[in-house]
Every structure is written in structure tokens, then in C-alpha cells.
């Protein structure tokens, strides 16, 4: 995996009543007991998608062998018609909390469950949506974590794998795609072959009037699909997508020597998808914003390329060999993150993928690792499957990827890959643990890895490394409560702003050296007066920050820095220093003003400027002047960049995000634009959202713009713009979606929440602090699963910089009975708010 709201109606049957009361997910001890009791041989699913738009028929036949005893099947129906075990009826009224108990004897069994399931529109289960562009309906399956039982009856845990055969009835103009090749013997009837053994969370189905593109490579049938309204856009992107897919297959086959074993490889771009993508074998699903309908930056194309490669890496890391339990989810995500970036950089046109990764992922991981909710990369100890979803965060992706990169560098590529291949072959179509993988590496020649595991994988939190100039030392501070004695080896860049000479070839003024830190202090004495950037190439996992002397020289040095990855390292250090209130907002604005017109990586701009807008400008003492300076820097960059380039687009987006109202109005009208900039649909809505936040437009005008082109994307941006208006009705518009009073899709919910809390609108938003706090105990009754976490974060009162708000949020998070997802999101967001308050106090905002 690379991350629609339907309020639940009062249930009318015992099954639904029981499910509505479900308190949590599968416990690890329950999974261990069920796996010891059962061997699952096969699933046969019959799904009727044609008879209703609200529900679908689901008949599941499961064949399994039991060692004899009591167990249960997972099931979340709208209604339950019948259940038969070995031909004998099972009382459907026994269904409670999504579980139907079964009494089994020793030997083979056949369970048949005939149920009616509800289509969902929250991005989980069998999600059904209507394309506002043409009114057509689309369906896709997302079975991750605990969503599979809302599609079919199953033993829902990752280590009870089995093959799946699907029989689907659908409207005659639909196409059906799944984990295995499908045939269409008669109109509206689809037969899917038996799949390879799959965990329940991999089972998917993509059905609707999708536009298809077919190809093949090296004996593997390839496919792409997207909504009919995106047909022209998919056709335009198909060559790039298919070329990357072929390049990645060739490289993964070369690296692992194990061919992709799941038959067809289809990539389906589906609407309203919560994650970036999901690695379902044979049919990977992606959010369909990755089919580009407007001009995009190179950074967005790199994001898509690394996502494609990430999901392909999962076919080995996760799909061939799957974690035994969710505490080893890093075996999926960290590996796919590392290999996806590595393969993208090595074999596709996007050789700068690691630059993009440094700007886009490094801070995500470091911030997650410094929060109160930090957890180890591996062995995080989650005993509840639903709670484990919260650990799909920057630690399991960015930190784990960084540590694997370090591990590869330490043991060497040959041993690293040999151990991975041994792991796959030893557990082919099976399940394994971290200890199994490390045993494979040790057999391949890595030596004893216990110290590495202890220091980096099962100890939470990053070390913090800073330069103490007066003492001539690098000072390493371990995270509180996790005193691992880690050593770090990384490069250091040094330069003088006043020195016109160049440094190491390709870096501009910087000279590079390599250092290794051991213990708490390591001698290091730079040349007097030199700027010092620690770990600019992400060689290790640690928080590094520039000291005051370095920070003062960066506005002169950064525009002369040729190496994009080194510039990324500079910005990561500045962002870490700002997070710890060691860098002033004014210093960040000074640096942006000097750097932005000269930056030649659009990914650098695209990830630095939104952080600046969200976290820095609201805390400056001269906010309007600071925004004007950033605006002029962005405009200078747009004028300096090649006309029509993606670099120009990124710089212009920065200018648009800080533009005054009169200039925005001219640009929307197509007037006064830099040569090469064209206002397409995506850019127009960026301008409109900014105009709305300034209060320079109104709801009727935004409605008229939406009516001109009512697409999924414009509907989301319309919600963001309306919620951003500085008026009471706009804030109530957002709030009604949070509470479920007005249904909204998952994307619209998130956009409305982010629009509600605009800096400078505190006179309107402060009453919503108390309303947010009052809603937290019951919000899990309105939203579920992935969307629940999204809305709690999106609607969090991040602009309420008051000690009273922080205290009230802590009290709310500590309240007994609060949903675990809600608590985790509130704790994380409150930590961010406290850091913003620290910056405000330190620098007088």
C-alpha cells in the first residue's frame, strides 16, 4: 500500500445490530488460536452487483479442515439470509459483532454463507460511487485490515491464505477485473479463474463501465483502467505507465530471480480511494488522481512512478511472502518503500527519485518518530488488528525504508538480495516474521544482526545530532525512554558564504567529508566560520539541525548549491530546527526568498512551500509582508523558469498560494500570466481556493464555477473553497459534513476540514474548538475505518494557539472509552499544536 461518508442507519436485523456494536478488531491471540485450528483450502464467491445500487448479493463457500473445536467466521452483512455448515443450517441470530460462531469436528468442512452486503462509499469494502461527470456507477473492492467481511464471509487474518474463485453478475455494460484472469461467457456474467493463495486483505474486484488499455510484456498480460470520463487522459498517460511497469518488471526479475507469479498484472485507477494504492495481486488499485487530467509537475510524475514501483515491489514483499501478523507490517511497507524508490531511480526516466523522496517523505517519518505515539519499526506489539492500522505511518514507510537502505549499505547488495530471495523461497505463498527474514540474511552471510535489530528496528525514536562549535563536538542525544547506543556514519557538507571557490565537484560551494559518531559526543571541529550541514544525503536516521552560524549563511549558499539532494538535506535540517523552535519563522522566510527563484527541482518547491504556508507564515510577526515576499519570489521563479516547464508551474503555484486578491482575479480571467502558464481546471481551482480564503469571492460564484465542470476533482476543490470562506455559513458548511448531517465523500470531508481552519479566521473558528471536543466521544459512530482517522485530523483545531486548547485536547484524549483511532489522531495533532505554540513563544508571533 502506498493513504465517503455514509452515516449508519438504524439496523433492522440482529446481524446488523450486532455489527453496529462492534468495539474493535481481531486480537492476535484469537488469530493464533484460529490458525492452529484451521487450514483453509479455498473460497468460492458469487457476487450479484446488478440487482440493486445500495446492496449486493454475496454467497460465500469456504472449504476448510479443522482439528476440531469452536471457532468463528467474520461477517458484516446488511442482512443474513442463511448459513450452512456441511449442509446443516446454522442459526443466523448467533451473529454478534461481526462474528458467527461455528462448532467444528475434526476433518474437512464446507461453509456456505448467503448474505446481502451494503455497498460502501468510504473507500473500504465494496465501494460504489457515481461519477458526477456522466452519472455512471463504479465499484471497487478494498479488503484491507477488517473490510473483507463486508464483502464476503471469511476467516479474516493474514496467515489463513487460500485461492479464490469469483463468479460475478454485473450490468451488461460493465467490465469486471479481479485477482485472476476473467472471462465474459455471456452479457453480464463474469467468471474469474482460481487465484493463487491470497490473504483476505488482498481480495479485490473492480467493476463498472471502465475504459481499458491492454498490453503485454515478457509473457505477462498488462492492463490499465479508469473511469470513462478519464479515457482520454488514461490514453495520454498509458505509454508512460506501461513503460515504467515493463522496466520495473525487468529489474525486479533481475534482482530476485523469481518471476511474478500472479498471472495478469492490471493497474486500476479508481475513484475516491483512501490510500495512494493497494497491492492486490493481479489487480493493483490506485487513486485515480494519478491519471493526470491537468498539467502537473515533474514531482507529481515521480510520485506516480514510485507508487507504481512500490506496488510492484509488494508482489514479492507482501504478496508472495506475507507477514504472519500486523506487527510485522514493515516487512511489507518499508521494503516496498525502499525498493520502489531504488528501482524507480535505477531503471526509469526518474533518476531523481531519491531527491523527491527526501523532500516528500523524510520529515513525515521524522515527525512521526518524535511524537508521543512513536513505535518501533518492527515488532510494534499491536495485539488488535484495527489498532494496527494506526501504525501505517511515516515510521513504517519512511523510517523503515531509510533503515533498510542503511542495512543494504552495511551488508552489501549481494548479501541483502540473497537473503531476501531466500526469504521468499522459504515462505513461498506463505507467511513469515521479521525473525524469519533476519535468519535468511544471516544464512546469506550478514553475520549476527541482533545488535542492528535491537538498535534500529525494535527501539523507537530518532537520535538528535547537533554541532557544538564551542566544544568542537557532534552531540548525539537519544530519544527519551529509548537509550539505544547507536553509531551513525554520514557525510557532512561545509562551506563559507564569503568563499567564491567551489567545493567537491557537483555540489557548488560545499566540501564533503564523512564522519562516524559513537557515544554521546564525537570530536568534530569545522573550519572557523564555515557553515556545516549534517547528513545532507540521508545516510542515517537522525534529527539534525543547523546551528545559528550555518543558518545565517544559508540564504547566500543555498542558491549556489548545485546538488539537488544536498539542497533537500539543507531543507530537512531547517525544518527539523523549526519544529524544535530553534529556527525562527523570519529566518525561514529569508531563506525561501533567496532560494525559491533559483530552485530547479519542482518537487523541492511543491513540498517546501505548502509547509511554509501551513506552519511558518501563520507564526511570522509580519504575516502580510512575509506572504508578499514569498509571492514575489515565486513569481520571480516562474518568470525565470523555461516557459511552459513543470518548474515554472511549481513556482507559479507558490506565487498563486500567496497572491493578493486583485492579481488572482486577473489570473483567473487569463490576464497578466507569465508566458507559458495556462490556467487549466486544476490551476483555476488553486486560484479560487486562495481567493475564497481571502474573502474575495462568495458561495454563488464558487457554485457557478463548479457547474461549469462538475467532476470528482472540482467537487472536492469546491468543498475546500467554500469551507475556506471567512463567513459563518462556510464554517457551518464544513461542520455539517464532519458530524454527518450532510453526507460527503471521503475526499470532500478532508477538503472541508482543511478549509475550515484557515489562519486569520480565528474569530469564526474558535467556537468550533469546543464543538470539536464535544464531538470526539461519538465521532466514531459517524465515520469508520480509514475515513475516521482522516476526518479527526482534518478537522483538528490547528490554528487555535492557546494553552487552554492544548489542555482541553489532552483531557479529551485521556477520556476513558475514546475510540483508539480518535485518540491516536488527537494525540499526534496535539503534539504538532504544542510545537507550533513553542515557536510562537520563542519568536513572538
Strands 189-192 and 205-208: unpaired
Handedness of CA 544, 545, 549, 554 (dihedral sign): positive
Strands 321-323 and 430-432: parallel
Instruction: Spot the catalytic one: 19, 251, 311, 333.
Output: 311
Q: Is 675 exposed, middle or buried (0-12, 13-18, 19+ CB in 10 A)?
A: exposed
What is the spatial distance between Cα 546 and Cα 303, in angstroms, rounded to a whole number? 28
* CA dihedral of residues 340, 341, 344, 345 (deg, nearest 10): -160
What is the spatial distance between Cα 821 and Cα 504, in angstroms, rounded to a whole number? 48
CA end-to-end span of the chain: 40
Spatial CA neighbour of 200 closest among 74, 369, 66: 74
Q: Which residues contact 242 (CB under 8 A, 6 or more apart)?
A: 213, 215, 217, 222, 224
What is the spatial distance between Cα 150 and Cα 171, in angstroms, rounded to a whole number? 21
CB 830 within 8 A of CB 813: yes
CB 374 within 8 A of CB 368: yes
CB 689 within 8 A of CB 683: no
Spatial CA neighbour of 394 closest among 357, 431, 434, 420: 357
CB 223 within 8 A of CB 283: no
CA dist 300 to 513, 603, 680, Å?
Answer: 33, 8, 16
What is the spatial distance between Cα 717 and Cα 472, in angstroms, rounded to a whole number? 52
CB 358 within 8 A of CB 569: yes
DSSP string, 78-94: SEEEEEEETTEE--GGG
Active site residue 682: no
CB 165 within 8 A of CB 42: yes
CB 236 within 8 A of CB 243: no
- Decide: helix, strand or coil at residue 487: coil
Instruction: Find cell 523570519 and name the residue.
Output: 586
Instruction: Find cell 445500487 and name the residue.
Output: 53
C-beta atoms surrounding 68 within 10 Å: 11
What is the spatial distance between Cα 137 and Cα 150, in angstroms, rounded to a whole number? 19
Please, what is the Cα angle at 650 between 649 and 653, to 5 degrees? 85
CB 398 within 8 A of CB 406: no
Instruction: Count CA atoms closer than 13 A to 69's CA, side-chain side.
Output: 9
Residues listed for the chain: 845
| Active-site residue list | 311
Amino acid at each position: 500500500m502506498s493513504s465517503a461518508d455514509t452515516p449508519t442507519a438504524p439496523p433492522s436485523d440482529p446481524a446488523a445490530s450486532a455489527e453496529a456494536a462492534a468495539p474493535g478488531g481481531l486480537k492476535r491471540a484469537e488469530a493464533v488460536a484460529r490458525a492452529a485450528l484451521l487450514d483453509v483450502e479455498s473460497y468460492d464467491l458469487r457476487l450479484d452487483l446488478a440487482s440493486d445500487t445500495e446492496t449486493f448479493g454475496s454467497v460465500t463457500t469456504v472449504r476448510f479442515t479443522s482439528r476440531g473445536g469452536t471457532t468463528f467466521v467474520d461477517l458484516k452483512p446488511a442482512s443474513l439470509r442463511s448459513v450452512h455448515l456441511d449442509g446443516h443450517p446454522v442459526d443466523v441470530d448467533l451473529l454478534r459483532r461481526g462474528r458467527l460462531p461455528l462448532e467444528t469436528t475434526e476433518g474437512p468442512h464446507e461453509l456456505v454463507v448467503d448474505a446481502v452486503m451494503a455497498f460502501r462509499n468510504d473507500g473500504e469494502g465494496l465501494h460504489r460511487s457515481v461519477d458526477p461527470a456522466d452519472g455512471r456507477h463504479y465499484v471497487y473492492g478494498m479488503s484491507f485490515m477488517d473490510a473483507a467481511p463486508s464483502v464476503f464471509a471469511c476467516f479474516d487474518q493474514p496467515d489463513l491464505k487460500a485461492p479464490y474463485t469469483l463468479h460475478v453478475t454485473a450490468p451488461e455494460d460493465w467490465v469486471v477485473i479481479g485477482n485472476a484472469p476473467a472471462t465474459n461467457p455471456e452479457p453480464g456474467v463474469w467468471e474469474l479463474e482460481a487465484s493463487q493463495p491470497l490473504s483476505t486483505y488482498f481480495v479485490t474486484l473492480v467493476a463498472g463501465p471502465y475504459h481499458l488499455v491492454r498490453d503485454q510484456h515478457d509473457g505477462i498480460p498488462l492492463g490499465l483502467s479508469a473511469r470513462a470520463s478519464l479515457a482520454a487522459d488514461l490514453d495520454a498517460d498509458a505509454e508512460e505507465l506501461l513503460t515504467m511497469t515493463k522496466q520495473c518488471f525487468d529489474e525486479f526479475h533481475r534482482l530476485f530471480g523469481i518471476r511474478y507469479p500472479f498471472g495478469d498484472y492490471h493497474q486500476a485507477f479508481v475513484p475516491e480511494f483512501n490510500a495512494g494504492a493497494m497491492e492486490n495481486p493481479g489487480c493493483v488499485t490506485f487513486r485515480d488522481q494519478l491519471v493526470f487530467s491537468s498539467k502537473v509537475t515533474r514531482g507529481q510524475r515521480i510520485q506516480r512512478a514510485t507508487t507504481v514501483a512500490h506496488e510492484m515491489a509488494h508482489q514479492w514483499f507482501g504478496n508472495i511472502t506475507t507477514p504472519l501478523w500486523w506487527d510485522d507490517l514493515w516487512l511489507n511497507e518499508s521494503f516496498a518503500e525502499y525498493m520502489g524508490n531504488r528501482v524507480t531511480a535505477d531503471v526509469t526516466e526518474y533518476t531523481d527519485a531519491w531527491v523527491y523522496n527526501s523532500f516528500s517523505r523524510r520529515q513525515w517519518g521524522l515527525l512521526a518518530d518524535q511524537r508521543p505515539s512513536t513505535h518501533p519499526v518492527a515488532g510494534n506489539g499491536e495485539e488488535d488488528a484495527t489498532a494496527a492500522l494506526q501504525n501505517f505511518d511515516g515510521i513504517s514507510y519512511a523510517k523503515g525504508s531509510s533503515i533498510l537502505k542503511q542495512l543494504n549499505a552495511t551488508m552489501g547488495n549481494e548479501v541483502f538480495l540473497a537473503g531476501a530471495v531466500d526469504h521468499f523461497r522459504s515462505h513461498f505463498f506463505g507467511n513469515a516474521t521479521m525473525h524469519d527474514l533476519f535468519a535468511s540474511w544471516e544464512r546469506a552471510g550478514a553475520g549476527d544482526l541482533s545488535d542492528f535489530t535491537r538498535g534500529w528496528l525494535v527501539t523507537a525514536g530518532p537520535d538528535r545530532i547537533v554541532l557544538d562549535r564551542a566544544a568542537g563536538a557532534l552531540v548525539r542525544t537519544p530519544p527519551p525512554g529509548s537509550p539505544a547506543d547507536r553509531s551513525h556514519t554520514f557525510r557532512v557538507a561545509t562551506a563559507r558564504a564569503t568563499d567564491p571557490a567551489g567545493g567537491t565537484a557537483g555540489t557548488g560551494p560545499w566540501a564533503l567529508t564523512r564522519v562516524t559518531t559513537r557515544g554521546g559526543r564525537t570530536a568534530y571541529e569545522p573550519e572557523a566560520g564555515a557553515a556545516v550541514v549534517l547528513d545532507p544525503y540521508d545516510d542515517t536516521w537522525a534529527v539534525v539541525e543547523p546551528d545559528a552560524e550555518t543558518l545565517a549563511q544559508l540564504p547566500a549558499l543555498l542558491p549556489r548549491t548545485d546538488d539537488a539532494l544536498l539542497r533537500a538535506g539543507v531543507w530537512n535540517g531547517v525544518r527539523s530546527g523549526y519544529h524544535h523552535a530553534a529556527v525562527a519563522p523570519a529566518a525561514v522566510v529569508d531563506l525561501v526568498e533567496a532560494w525559491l527563484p533559483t530552485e530547479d527541482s519542482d518537487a523541492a518547491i511543491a513540498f517546501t512551500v505548502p509547509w511554509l504556508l501551513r506552519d511558518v507564515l501563520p507564526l511570522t510577526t509580519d504575516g502580510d509582508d512575509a506572504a508578499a515576499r514569498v509571492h514575489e519570489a515565486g513569481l520571480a521563479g516562474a518568470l525565470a523558469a523555461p516557459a511552459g516547464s513543470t518548474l515554472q508551474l511549481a513556482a507559479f503555484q507558490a506565487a498563486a498560494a500567496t497572491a493578493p486578491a486583485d492579481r488572482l482575479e486577473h489570473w483567473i480571467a487569463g490576464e497578466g500570466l507569465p508566458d507559458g502558464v495556462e490556467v487549466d481546471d486544476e490551476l483555476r481551482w488553486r486560484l479560487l481556493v486562495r481567493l475564497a480564503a481571502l474573502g474575495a469571492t462568495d458561495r454563488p460564484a464558487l457554485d457557478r464555477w463548479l457547474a461549469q465542470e462538475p467532476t470528482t476533482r472540482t467537487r472536492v476543490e469546491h468543498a475546500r473553497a467554500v469551507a475556506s470562506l471567512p463567513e459563518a455559513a462556510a464554517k457551518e458548511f464544513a461542520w455539517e459534513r464532519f458530524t454527518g448531517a450532510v453526507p460527503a465523500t471521503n475526499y470532500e470531508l478532508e477538503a472541508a476540514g482543511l478549509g475550515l481552519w484557515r489562519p486569520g479566521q480565528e474569530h469564526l473558528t474558535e467556537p468550533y474548538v469546543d464543538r470539536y471536543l464535544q464531538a470526539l466521544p461519538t465521532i466514531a459512530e459517524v465515520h469508520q475505518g480509514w475515513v475516521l482517522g482522516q476526518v479527526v485530523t482534518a478537522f483538528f483545531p490547528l490554528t487555535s494557539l492557546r494553552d487552554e486548547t492544548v489542555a482541553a485536547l489532552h483531557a479529551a484524549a485521556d477520556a476513558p472509552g475514546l475510540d483508539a483511532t480518535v485518540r491516536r489522531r488527537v494525540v499526534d495533532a496535539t503534539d504538532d499544536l504544542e510545537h507550533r505554540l513553542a515557536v510562537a513563544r520563542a519568536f513572538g508571533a
